Amino acid sequence: MSGPRFQPVADPKAHVPSVGRTIPHDSAVGHVTGAAAYIADVPRRSDELVVGFVPSPLASGAIRSIDLAAARSVPGVVDLVTADDLPAAKVWGPIIQDEPILAASEVLYVGQPVVVIAAETQAALEEARRLVTLDIVPAEPILSIERAIELGRFIGTPRRIARGDASAAIAAAPHRLAGVFHSLGQEHLYLEAQAALAYPGECGQIVVHSSTQGPTETQHVVADVLGLGMHEVVCICKRMGGGFGGKETQGVLPAVMAALVAHRTGRAARIVYVREDDMASTGKRHAYRCAWEVGFDDAGRILGYRVDFHSAGGAAADLSTSIMERSMLHVDNAYWLPHVEIHGRVCRTNIAPATAFRGFGGPQGMAVTENVIQEITTHLRGLGKGVSAVDVQRLNLYGVGERNVTPYGQTIRGNHVPEIVDTLRATCDFDHRLATIEAANTRDSLVLRGLALMPVKFGISFTAKFLNQGNALVNVYTDGTVQVSTGGTEMGQGLNTKIKQLVADEFGLPPAQVVLMPTSTEKNCNTSPTAASAGTDLNGAAAVQACREIKARIAAWVAPRFAGDGLGPAAEHVGFAGGWVFDTRRPETRIPFGELCNGARRERVDLGARAFYATPIAGFDAEQGRGEPFFYYTQGAAAAEVRIDRFTGDLVVTRIDLLIDIGRSINPGVDRGQVIGGFVQGMGWVTGECLVYDERGRLLSDSPTTYKIPAASDVPADFRCDFFPADDNVENVARSKAVGEPPLMHAICVWSAVKHALGCVSPAAARRLCLPATNEEILRALRGPAGPADDGGGWGHSAEMRSWDRAR
């Protein structure tokens, strides 16, 4: 037998833990060389079929007939499937089962799958797709939030969170403002489009490889549609080429289509959406209409606040009700609101069902309040009060030990936001820069500048308590190497790399001795989607627990072998470091980890373990609007400086200063990438990314040529990103904090900076600004009164605002 591949270090004391160090992403080389395989890269089987679908050309209408005769005659076409051919379930939904697998009697949005086609070649599939005839009687689509409200078309029940008496506090306040704020949706534009590969197993079983954040949900829906038990379906995800929430539920339909063909034909089947189909048929971030009213004092202290949210949920529920819930839970952002009333309702519209997107409703909730902060500042300055927006923000922040209970009743522990804001304000020289910019805006007729700061407090956990669970399987082999399987999915965010580091440190090994296996529902069952920024928290904690179970078995077995020289056997003194297992009382008595594992196996010591972790939270009662939904909060602040061309509206973000508390970073390099990447994606949402539909509900911005995401050249040349030193998140794995979603919300400060710039020349222009602040929107705001209020569909947007001053 050959010797071990990995040799221990000379001295266990020389071992350097990997947690806290930057090690390369486990697929970094594969990503840049093309060796990392995605679903489209899996070698084609000889019996494999190409799968696609016929989308609805209309946003609303009754299906009179579907003519498949011409399509069936195309050489190479193997199968055509309509709703009538589905073996079992015909609708699905992660919360409310209201979304058709295939359109049956009516179509609900442009791009909705109507017919599934399976063919030998892509050319045959495309020809058949052109020849399918859909006879649809058009109906008037609902394409705006306002129209849905008018018709009473809603999804789910109305929700309310309240504290105190907001109406009375607003009425009694020295100053009052009210308005309507609009934020539009956002396209995920992940690099890898929706994709799935399915093939039949033995005895009617189905194996599905899916680009999904939720393998269990995919397994469940495939089983339901095919009339199988979940034990007869295996869903596997090696990696995704990006997800951002767009594959939490939206990967289900392509997986079902591929599985359906495999089940019917007994052959392998693969579907990979082309980009235009992906963008037309899949859900986006929700557009919101937010009616707000606020009362405040002369200093800008908020006394009463009321917000009514309406979101454009699309044609089916998807995750819209939970997303609305998180918007309501984050409208406070980092601010103490003594009297507050928050209402939320999801509107049913004839667009693709809106879905999860990084931040999951949190950005929409925070954006309206940051808009209100800016409006309060503008109003007070118009009255001659010498305040800045950051003064108003600082005055309203949650306190430490007081004024620290959220509207839903959760006490904020470890609140670092005031310190973070003060630190960032000083280190980025905010006040001096603000004065300089405002003075320059009065003189420069060509360029307009703006500066804004924003604090962030983002709750970490699924708000649905049952989802806060994870499990992991750890297998240690006789050469001292380790395989780890979890329910978490890797979409480029570095989850696998972090878990590798956690496991390596538990056994005192170099990370190279640990490998993360593809996520599979046969190894990790009933798992939660990789979402809510909780992937490492849940799966990492479970993996660490499994490691400790194995270590306890090893320690109990090896302790007697370390006894001697008056030292009795004591499992608690067995240590793991540098590739050695040793007695911590006498470190020179040690055994190489691989050699020990080989011996342990011969003595029938179990070297594998499956562990389960449940986040210790009380949960949230949605009916009462009360509870403790979050395990902790990721906190931070960012400041943005922008430059605007007064004649073209061209916007450039010139500088960013960002300070974020992510606890003890497991991998600083990976985390820094997440912070900067998340911020830039958020910057895209608040500036250049604008979904445009025509009057029939057809998406016009359906490709990277018509939908503008930030390019590398849009990243601010001066980007200063630092981690706030905090070590008090003692209950979470490795004392870390989640880093996936929070950075995106920090980017709202870019929008606030645009609003500040406009306010320097025209408060009315600033009031007209809505989100995103595209070049066109900036010009509309600058040049005069806006048109009709935005209907949530993306045909231009505007704001309404009114104010009162209480007589004294």
Active site residues: 741
Q: HSE, CB side, 13 Å, CA atoms: give it for residue 421.
A: 24
CA separation for the pair 638, 628 (Å, rounded): 27
CA torsion angle 560 566 568 574 (round to 10): -70
Q: HSE, CB side, 13 Å, CA atoms: give it for residue 177.
A: 21
Sign of the dihedral defined by the CA atoms of residues 636, 684, 431, 382, in that order: negative
The residue type found at 235 is: C
Query: Cβ-count burial of 389 within 10 angstroms (0-12 exposed, 13-18 middle, 19+ buried)?
Result: buried
Taking alpha carbons only, the member of 645, 680, 622, 661 closest to residue 160 is: 622
Taking alpha carbons only, the member of 296, 383, 378, 292 closest to residue 763 is: 378
CA separation for the pair 104, 96 (Å, rounded): 18
Which residue carries 């999904």 as its tokens?
212
CA separation for the pair 611, 542 (Å, rounded): 5
Q: How many CB atoms lie within 10 A of CB 565?
A: 8
Per-residue DSSP letters for 96-140?
S--EESS--SEE-STT-EEEEEEESSHHHHHHHHHH-EEEEEE--
Before 772, cis peptide (omega within 30)?
Answer: yes
Taking alpha carbons only, the member of 229, 228, 233, 231 closest to residue 206 is: 233
**3 state SS for 363-396:** HHHHHHHHHHHHHHHHHHHHCCCCCCHHHHHHHH
**606, two tokens:** 């179990």
Could you tell me the maximum CA-CA distance found in the chain, to the nearest angstrom? 92
Q: Give residue 763's Cα distance to chain centre.
A: 34
Triad 167, 768, 337: Cα angle to 5°: 30
CA torsion angle 8 12 17 22 (round to 10): -50
Q: Which helix (H) or strand (E) holds 241?
A: none
CA separation for the pair 179, 799 (Å, rounded): 7
- Range 246-262 burial, b when 16+ CB lie within 10 A, else e: bbbbbbbbbbbbbbbbb
**524, two tokens:** 């990790």
Pairing status of strand 195-200 against strand 269-272: antiparallel
CA separation for the pair 605, 626 (Å, rounded): 48
